[in-house]
Amino acid sequence: MGAGKTSVGKQLAKALKRDFLDSDKEIEDRTGVNIPTIFDIEGETGFRSREQQIIDELTQYDHLVLATGGGAVLNKDNQKALQSRGTVFYLSASIDQLYQRTHRDRNRPLLQTDNPKQKISELLAIRDPIYRSVADFVIETDGQSVRKVVDDILLCLDEN
């Protein structure tokens, strides 16, 4: 959450002349409600089920830049789909950077706690090793502009 997946993804898609999709936005568009509402009605389990279905579908498209929600890699089926059907970039950011980018955002249900920075730390402790194991490339985003991150990704793709 807050690493820049959507901002970077949109610019990367433009640079590669590909379509861009965000799995969370697709879920919202298809359900007609926002992510917090899905969490309220179906809980995280219901949301993750929807997420898995969307990721399975979207990873089958060619010539697509896809941004997934921060917790998508927790699901083994998502991990397999992402790894086998595309090149995966993990946009890594520090806890402080993630907090600065997300602490005022009310559209992040997992951060609606008394201590969102602590929650980010807990989530990252679980997710970071998974992100690193799934990713083909890790890109550090702290203090980097969107353009610089996109350029770093393009360099990785050119060298690969």
Asked, for residue 158, whether it belongs to a domain, the answer is no
Please state the pTM of the whole predicted model: 0.86
Q: For position 6, what pLDDT does the model report?
A: 87
> Residue 138 sits in a domain of what CATH number?
3.40.50.300
108: confidence class by pLDDT, cuts 50, 70, 90 = low
Asked, for residue 160, whether it belongs to a domain, the answer is no
Q: Which one is predicted more confidently, 107 or 62?
A: 62
Residues 49-58, mean pLDDT to the nearest whole number: 97
Residues 16-27, mean pLDDT to the nearest whole number: 96
9: confidence class by pLDDT, cuts 50, 70, 90 = very high
Q: CA-CA distances (angstroms) from residue 126 to 36, 37, 112? A: 22, 25, 18
Q: Is 138 helix (H, G, I), strand (E, B) or coil?
A: strand
Q: What's the domain range around 19?
A: 5-153
Number of structural domains, the chain?
1
Q: What percent of the chain has pLDDT over 70?
A: 88
Asked, for residue 21, whether it belongs to a domain, the answer is yes
Q: For position 26, what pLDDT does the model report?
A: 96
Q: For position 103, what pLDDT does the model report?
A: 57
Asked, for residue 113, whether it belongs to a domain, the answer is yes
Alpha-carbon distance of 92 to 17, in angstroms, equals: 24
Residues 121-143, mean pLDDT to the nearest whole number: 92
Q: For position 136, what pLDDT does the model report?
A: 97
Which residues 6+ apart lie within 8 Å of 127 measured at CB? 70, 71, 73, 74
* Residue 75 clears pLDDT 90, i.e. is over it: yes
18: confidence class by pLDDT, cuts 50, 70, 90 = very high
Residues 47-70, mean pLDDT to the nearest whole number: 95
70: confidence class by pLDDT, cuts 50, 70, 90 = confident
Least confident among 11-15, 26-30, 54-58, 92-96: 92-96
Alpha-carbon distance of 65 to 99, in angstroms, equals: 25
Asked, for residue 136, whether it belongs to a domain, the answer is yes
